[in-house]
Structure formats: C-alpha cells, structure tokens
Chains A and B, each alone.
Chain A
Amino acid sequence: MKHPRLVSGIAIGVLIMLLFLLPVLYVVMMAFESPSHFLVSPMTPGSPDASNFSNAWNSADLGPELLNTVLYSVVAAALAVALGLLIAFPIARRLLRGHSLLYTFLFVGLFLPLSIIPMYAEARMLGMFNNRIGYTILHIEQPGLPGLPLAVVVLTASLASVPLELDEAAWMEGASYLAYLGRVIVPLTRPALLISFLYAMLGVWNDIIGPAVLLADPGLAPVTKGIYSFYGSNESQFTLLAAGVVIVSLPVVLLFIASQRQINRASLVGGIKA
C-alpha cells in the first residue's frame, strides 16, 4: 500500500475498460463469428467470418437507410446552426432591448421534455408526416432534441470573443449583413459552430422515437429505425444483428474520434458555465 493513488488509479482504469470497452469489443467479435460457431461457443472467438456484414447490409437495407440518416441529420443540423447564428448575433451584440429575456426564452428550450404526441399532430396538420422534407424540418428543433437553442447558447458565448471593432469596420465598408456573417463571423467562431453542428447532428442521427412516429414508409426510414425493426424480425440471428450494429455505429464512432478534442473542450466549458 505504498502507492494508494496509483493502485486506485489502475483499479478505476480497469473498471472503465471492463465497463466501456469490453461490451463494445464483444459485439465486434460477435459480428465476425460464423452463426454456427457462435451457437456452440458464444464466449470464444472462432475463425473470423465477414459474411455477417454482407448479409446484414443486404437484408436490412442498411445502404439506403444510412443515406436517409445522413440526409436528415446533416441538413437539419446545418439549418439549426445557421438559424442559431441568426438568433445569436443580435442577442450577443445586444442589438434589441429584450436581449437577455430573449436569451432566457431560448435557454429554457434546452430543458423541455420530449413531446412526440403534439409533434405528430403538427406533422399531420402541416403536411410534414411521412415525407423527407417534413421530417428534416421537424428535426431542426424539437422539445427534447434542442439543436437550435443549444446552437444559440453556444454561439452567443462564442460571439462575445469577437471584437466589436470588426462589426464597425464592416459597417463602414458597407458590407451586407449576411456577407459579414459568412466572411468574418463564421471563420472566427468555427469551433463553436462545429460543436453545435455535431450536437444537433448526433441528436437527429440517433433519434428512434421520431422515426417510429413521424415516418411510415420503409423507404424513408433512417438507419436507427432500420436496425431496430431488423432486430424485431431477426431476434435470434444474433451474429447478423451484431454486424448490423457495427455497420450502423461505424460512421458515428469515426466522426466522434475525429472531433473528440472539440467535443471534450466544449463540454468542459459548458459544465463550468451552466
């Protein structure tokens, strides 16, 4: 017991590996198992077999579903961030009288509960039920999936570090508002824009209640709904399901690792501020 700190550090390290790495690795291993080997010996790896991947890809329609997911999440998140900037700029520059009240009004949006019943009613009324454009628009902002208000909160904080002199210089030169936002503000607030975009995108990408209620046509289904209904109809084909899970999560995991530094930094800042 000479180094209690080291011992407890190693213990927690092992605990984190066991809890967070092992389950994921097990599912990856499972995805490479031949179904017959898995049936006999689920705990040990057999000779790697990649046929689960092609089988899952073909029988679950994962290709078109991944395309749907990318379309919904990228477009909805981009719109959320763009609209977020349009709201955040006048608030951050205190250009209107009720700017702090307006900020609070948007801040509340971070805490609203998932409300799928009225979203469904609204989708029906506005002709947004069961179509791509409607589904995308409905995902710019939803109670419980607050892409837009989060972008406003993050961007308002970030805009505070952009000097007012830049605004004045652009004003003197007669630059249009949108050109100024695009050429000066966007490059200067890139980290905040990226974080808001990633957060909004993950929310749409991972949504399962929304696609279950707001989409009926299988051709419109995003990949979460696809893999979930694949599970429902192939409950005992475990290796196939594991391969599907790996395919579905691969793009998110790669994106996540690529942007890890920003996510980490922004979340830490958010933690201090909130």
Chain B
Amino acid sequence: MMWGGLLLGLAVYVLFGIVPMVGNIIISFTDYTGLPGQAVHNLGFANYTSIGSTQAPGFEQGIVATLVFVVAVTVGQNAFALLFAHKLKGSGKFAAVGRLLVFLPIALGVTVVGLIWILIFNPQEGPMASLFGLFGVHPGFFGADYWAMTLVILVQIWQNVGFSTLVFIGGLRAIDPALYEAAAMDGVGAWQRLRRITFPLLAPSVTVNVMLAVVGSFTTYNLIYVLTDGQYGTQTLGMLSYNVAFGSFEANLGYGAAVSVVLFVVTLVVAMPMLALLRRRERRLVG
C-alpha cells in the first residue's frame, strides 16, 4: 500500500514535472506546430542556428530586455523587501497589517494585479494620466517604448516583494537579540550595529532572495503577458518563446522550445556561479 502510494505520487511528478523538461529539448529539434495530424520532422540544430537570424527576429532584443528586467527586478525587489522587513518584523498589530498588505498581490495573482495597474495607468482617464497631465506630460504608459518596460519592472516588483519581505523577516527574527543588546551596552551606534550584526547574519536570507528573484525574473513572463503581451520593448526571452509558439498564426512550437532551452541555459550560466558566490559570502560572513 505504501509503495503503491509512493509510486503513484512519483509517477505524477515525473510525468508532469520532469517529462516536460526533457520534452522541451526534444521538441526544440523538430518543426512541431502543435496542430493535430501534422507530421513532425527532425530538424537537427536548425532551430538553434536560426535563433538570431533575420528570419526569426526578436532574439537580440529579447536578450537585452531579459537582462534589463532581471537586473532591475532583482535589485529593486530585494531593496524594497529589506526596507519593509526591517519595519515589519515586529509582533505588533501595525506590523501584522503591513505584512498582510505587502503579501496581498501574491494572493491576487498576476491577472488581477496586471489589470489593476492597467486601470491605474490607462493613458486616457486613469489617475496617473491625470497626475502626469498636471505637468503637461501625456505618456502612453504600457503602450509606449521605455515606459512599458519601466512599468512592467515596477509591477513585477510590486507583485513579488511580499514573498522576499517574509523571507527577510524570517532571517531578521532568527538573529539573537542578545547580540544587539550587548553591542548597545558597549556603545555601538545603530549604523554600526546594522553593518556589523544584521548585514552579515542576514547573508543566508540574501542568498535565498537573490536566487529566487534572479531565477524567477529570468523564466516567468505571465505578468508581462497580461500587461503588454511583450510589445513596446518588453519581449523577454520567455515571452518571445511563448509568442513564437502560441502568439501568432505560425505556431512554431519547435522554435519556441529552442528559445526556451537557450533561456534555460542562460539562466543556469548566470545563476550557478552566482549561487556559489553567495554561498561563499555566507561562509565568510557567518563563519
């Protein structure tokens, strides 16, 4: 009975969690269109060699958009999370309400979050249009180059900062309060306490949060899908992969899979050394 249950659970995990990862690589070597009844051919590396060629545009721009998105989201999300965690770590009522509020966007989900910000930044009648109008500026917001990417980054941070905040709060609460008391008794100032105690002992939470933000912003595109569908310079590689597969009439799933395999490799190449670096920093600081 027990082995049967274990095997059933593992079968579901392998079939729907692991097989797709392998399937993605296999599909990337084919001309699969996703339409039933159409023959699928082996193309070898053709999808990979056509990445970045003129027939399949969007890749170079996608790399740039992805890097901008990843760096800005990772830095912004962690900076805000640290700020919030520092003030919301307490056990009081206000701190509890604050935690509820910063976590709310995660419960609301990307579709509702996206539509909330589309309503607020709608260029005709939204409150932000009125506000900018006071200064004589009438931007297209999600429908304008540069504006769109800036806003997509901010909404992505808004959506996910609550989780990073909770991780930092966990890290802050794990620091022994006796350390602060002893330091205060020795006349160590607030800034020095932050630098010498909080910052080093928070290293494990920093590792978790930076890795989550990096991997998350590299690979997810569901919020971008809701906000701009990858238009106006917001087509990251994940969004590009989706759009070549499902967004047009061409339905080129093979090419889309190749793009997502490249994205996966890029993510690993960036994330793995980063993880090693952060781990080494942890050992140096925590000892």
Contacts and interface: CB of A to CB of B under 8 A. Distances in A.
B9 A272 contact: no
Given A113-B263, A146-B17, A256-B104, A118 B27 contact: yes
A43 B130 contact: yes
B109 A263 contact: no
A24 interface: yes
A84 B9 contact: yes
B122 interface: yes
Given A16-B102, A202-B107, A121 B27 contact: yes
Interface in A65-109: 83-84, 86-87, 89-90, 95-96, 106, 109
A184 to B, nearest CB: 14
Contacts of B70: none
B230 interface: no
A117 B6 contact: no
Secondary structure dominating the interface of B: helix
A106 B6 CA distance: 12
Contacts of B126: 42, 238
B10 interface: yes
A53 to B, nearest CB: 16
Interface in A29-86: 30, 38-39, 42-43, 83-84, 86
B256 A117 contact: yes
Given A12-B83, A148-B12, A252-B107, A38 B125 contact: yes
B103 A263 contact: yes
A131 interface: no
A120 B102 contact: no
Contacts of B100: 257, 260
A152 B116 CA distance: 34
Interface in B104-134: 104-112, 115-120, 122, 124-127, 130
Interface residues of A, number: 89
A176 interface: yes
A164 interface: no
Interface in B149-207: 158, 163, 166-171, 173-174, 205
Contacts of A152: 9
Contacts of B23: 115, 118, 121-122
Contact of B267 (A27, A113, A205): A113
Given A117-B27, A271-B170, A271-B208, A13 B98 contact: yes
B79 to A, nearest CB: 13
Contacts of B264: 113
Interface stretch (B52-60, B61-69, B237-245, B278-286): B237-245
A113 B34 contact: no
Given A12-B87, A142-B20, A249-B112, A114 B119 contact: no
Interface in A234-261: 236, 238, 241-242, 245, 248-249, 252-253, 255-257, 260
B13 A268 contact: no
Contacts of B19: 118, 122
Nearest to A146: B17
A27 B105 CA distance: 14
A27 B119 contact: yes
B264 to A, nearest CB: 6
Given A87-B9, A137-B16, 17 more contacts: A8-B87, A20-B104, A23-B117, A89-B5, A113-B218, A114-B219, A115-B23, A117-B245, A118-B27, A121-B27, A141-B16, A143-B21, A144-B219, A202-B107, A209-B222, A267-B170, A271-B208
Interface of B: 1-3, 5-6, 8-10, 12-13, 15-21, 23-24, 27, 32, 34, 36, 83-84, 87, 94, 96, 98-112, 115-120, 122, 124-127, 130, 158, 163, 166-171, 173-174, 205, 208, 215, 218-222, 225-226, 238, 241-242, 245-246, 253, 256-257, 260, 263-264, 267
Closest 8 CB pairs of A and B: A206-B109, A271-B170, A86-B5, A118-B23, A113-B219, A271-B167, A118-B20, A87-B9
28 contacts: A16-B101, A17-B101, A23-B120, A24-B116, A109-B13, A113-B218, A114-B222, A115-B260, A116-B245, A116-B246, A118-B23, A118-B27, A121-B27, A122-B15, A142-B16, A144-B219, A177-B1, A202-B107, A209-B222, A212-B246, A224-B111, A228-B226, A238-B126, A252-B109, A267-B167, A268-B173, A271-B171, A271-B208
